Amino acid sequence: MRNLFLSALLAAILPIPASAESLLCENGLAEVTAPSAALARETCAMTDDSLARFEACKLGTWEFVRIDVIDQLEKGCVGLYHCGEHRIELLSPAGLDRAKDDLRTFRNVPSDRLFSSVLHHELAHALYETRPCPYENCLATSEYFAYSQQIAALDPRDRATITARMDFSKPAQRDSINAMILFMAPDAFIATVWVHFTQRPEPCQYWRGILDGRILFDRFHP
Ligand SMILES: [Zn+2]
């Protein structure tokens, strides 16, 4: 009985299984906990790729984050950035395989490549988090930055599968990039973001404008 109580208590206070492997990444910007040492190493290598992408556009970097790679996350969720805690929870490639039906826009991207793209999305949130927001929150702007980064970082074959149904024939509606559409129709939000982003002439400059706070999609709600 006591053992049962003890294990229930441990399960409640320990969010990660005891067999998880932790690794401090060589870039000094992340510590990864994953179900296997190999996946922890791969995840660290992926943070290097994200760092290189941000540096290529002179976007700066995120503050140190903890990345927990786990086999299960709440339904419909593949990655979570806990703002203020510098912590990312990420569904493992095995977990992504099981969650295929919930992936909507990204369902045709193979799990290993999807895993690194979701990590890049969450690191983009971590980077945006270091910048000031003039409103109560900057949800729409933060998701614009994260999704445009994620889709730009995809393998071109994967990007082609998700952009095939997007309408690039007319200017994207900037007004549709808001928190309401994000929650009510996330796929429509993602499509509008990507079409809008591809219609900007200078991608790196646009991302810098977002990080500088000059470009905002959120507005003041009295
Ligand atoms: Zn996001």
What integer pLDDT is reported at residue 2 of this predicted model? Answer: 42
Give the contacts of 220 (CB within 8 A, at least 6 positions apart).
Answer: 134, 135
- Whether 119 is in a domain gets the answer yes
Q: What is the DSSP letter of 61?
A: -
Distance 83 CA to ligand 1 centre (A): 11
Q: How many domains does the chain have?
A: 2
- Whether 219 is in a domain gets the answer no
All residue ranges of the chain with pLDDT < 70 are 1-19, 222
Distance between CA atoms of residues 193 and 163, nearest Å: 11
- Residue indicated by tokens 């927001």: 133
Read off the pLDDT of residues 128-162 as tens digits, 9 standing for 90 and up.
998 989 998 999 999 999 999 999 999 999 999 99
Does residue 66 contact residue 119 with C-beta atoms inside 8 Å? no
What integer pLDDT is reported at residue 102 of this predicted model? Answer: 78
Final residue in a domain of this structure, among 128, 160, 186: 128
What integer pLDDT is reported at residue 1 of this predicted model? Answer: 44
- Whether 152 is in a domain gets the answer yes
Read off the pLDDT of residues 8-20 as tens digits, 9 standing for 90 and up.
554 555 555 556 8
Task: For residue 121, give the CATH number of its domain.
Answer: 3.40.30.160
Distance between CA atoms of residues 112 and 2, nearest Å: 41
Distance between CA atoms of residues 159 and 151, nearest Å: 6
- Whether 6 is in a domain gets the answer no
> Which residue segment(s) compose the domain that 61 sits in?
15-128
Distance 92 CA to ligand 1 centre (A): 17
For strand 65-70 and strand 87-91, is the pairing parallel, antiparallel, or unpaired? parallel
What integer pLDDT is reported at residue 99 of this predicted model? Answer: 87
Distance 170 CA to ligand 1 centre (A): 26
93 phi/psi in degrees, rounded to 5 = -55, -40
Neighbours of ion ligand 1 (CB under 5 A): 146
Nearest-CA neighbor of 78 among 46, 120, 41, 48?
A: 120
Distance 190 CA to ligand 1 centre (A): 10
Distance 91 CA to ligand 1 centre (A): 14
Nearest-CA neighbor of 211 among 36, 54, 43?
A: 54
Final residue in a domain of this structure, among 128, 157, 191: 128
Distance 127 CA to ligand 1 centre (A): 12
Mark whether 92 and 170 lie in a shared domain: no
Q: And the tokens for 73?
A: 């996350």
Rg (C-alpha) for the chain, rounded Å, is: 18
What integer pLDDT is reported at residue 13 of this predicted model? Answer: 52
Final residue in a domain of this structure, among 128, 162, 197: 128
Helix (H, G, I), strand (E, B) or coil at 74: coil
What integer pLDDT is reported at residue 74 of this predicted model? Answer: 78
